[in-house]
Amino acid sequence: MRLQGLNALLAPTLNIRSLIFIRLAVGLIFFTQGILKYTDPHIGVLRFTRIGFPYPGFTAHFVGFFEIVCGFLVLIGLFTRPAGIPLLIVILTAIATTKIPELFRAAQGFWFMVSDARNDFAMTMGLLLLIAVGAGSWSFDRWLFGFKSDAG
């Protein structure tokens, strides 16, 4: 049976239990970083000010809100694919605003940027995997929506 519409977006495509490890890593990192944007000004408002975002207080808390909510959803495997999309936007923005500029700073350059971006790269790849295949068999998505079937 072919799933249509919203169910096709929400249902996991793979019946793999081990995807829980990717969800744990991605979800916990985003969830905790979101909380830190509210509790630690060096990770929140001051960092967004240093990067040059307009309205850094609002922006830090706006991003933190999505990291907390979407990170938690990824962590528990509920609406994993849709929750991954805002997180992908967040991590790609972080790479563009904090890692790419390192290429052009004196005494930094390519290898410094590669080393500094390793976590962001891993998070991006984890998110792309979860958006592509869903949350796996140990998830609320599986319980609510079942598995997507490509069979007629």
Whether residue 84 has pLDDT greater than 90: yes
Give me the pLDDT at residue 3, please. Answer: 53
- Would the CA dihedral through 138, 143, 145, 149 be positive or negative? positive
DSSP 12-48: -S---TTHHHHHHHHHHHHHHHHHHHHH-TTTTHHHH
Instruction: Calculate mean pLDDT across residues 70-94.
Output: 97
- Greater confidence, 152 or 148? 148
Instruction: Report how far apart, in Å, the C-alpha atoms of 104 and of each of 57, 92, 95, 109 are.
Output: 27, 18, 14, 6
Residue 14 has what pLDDT?
Answer: 78
pLDDT band for 54, please (50, 70, 90 cuts).
very high
Q: Which two tokens stand for residue 10?
A: 């929400």
- Using one digit for the tens of pLDDT, what is the confidence trace for 8-21? 777 777 788 999 99
Domain extents in the chain: 5-145
110-142 pLDDT, tens digit per residue, is 999 999 999 999 999 999 999 999 999 999 999
Query: What pLDDT score was predicted for residue 1?
Result: 43
Which band of pLDDT confidence, cut at 50, 70 and 90, is reported for residue 85? Answer: very high
